[in-house]
Amino acid sequence: MAVDIRVRGYHLDIYQHVNNARYLEFLEESRWDFFDKTQLISTFESSNLAFVMVNLNINYRRPAFVNELVRVTAYFSKVGNKSLQLSQEIILLKENDCGELINDAVIVDAVGTFCLMDQCTEKTILIDGELRETLTDLIEDAPCQ
């Protein structure tokens, strides 16, 4: 799953490319969109669970410049007992000769590790039972570029 974002003037910093912190908002936007489309937002809300980042390993491979269109992907790559792994990419899109949007360069790739925190007890929960099944069913292989 993915969201497309057009790079705007306010995303840039002194170096005239998208600022390193702003990409994390792009990644978060794509995660919320993913949770929205898979109904995970309501699953988490109804169980009063917060989806909390514990580690992010992010590669900035190519700068993104104003007016460029990027696609931000998000998919579960691993479901553990106490943590989850989400793999995400930000890919530059360009139009081919047929006017279709195709992937050009990888701008960012990132692996995020998250835990689910019970917002009452403020403790990390064990990911098991029905929730584990739901999440495991969403695991995907990396999409072909």
Residues at the contact surface with a second copy, assessed by CB under 8 A:
6, 8-10, 12-16, 19-22, 24-25, 28-29, 32-33, 36, 41, 50, 52-61, 63, 66-67, 119
Specify the residue, 35 or 144, whose C-beta has the smaller distance to a second copy. Answer: 35
Question: What is the DSSP pairing of strand 101-118 with strand 84-95?
Answer: antiparallel
Look up 33 and say whether it is catalytic: no
- Exposed/middle/buried for 3, CB within 10 Å: 0-12, 13-18, 19+? middle
Kindly report the number of other CB atoms within 10 A of residue 63's CB atom: 13
By beta-carbon proximity to a second copy, the closer residue of 21 and 144 is 21
Torsion region of 114: left, alpha or beta (phi above 0 gives left; psi -120 to 50 gives alpha): beta
Closer CB to a second copy, 33 or 85, in the complex: 33
Shorter beta-carbon distance to a second copy: residue 65 or 133: 65
Alpha carbons 6 and 2: distance in angstroms, whole number: 13
With beta carbons less than 8 A apart as the criterion, state whether 89 and 73 touch: yes
In angstroms, the CA 113 to CA 111 distance is 7
Q: Give me the active site residues, please.
A: 13
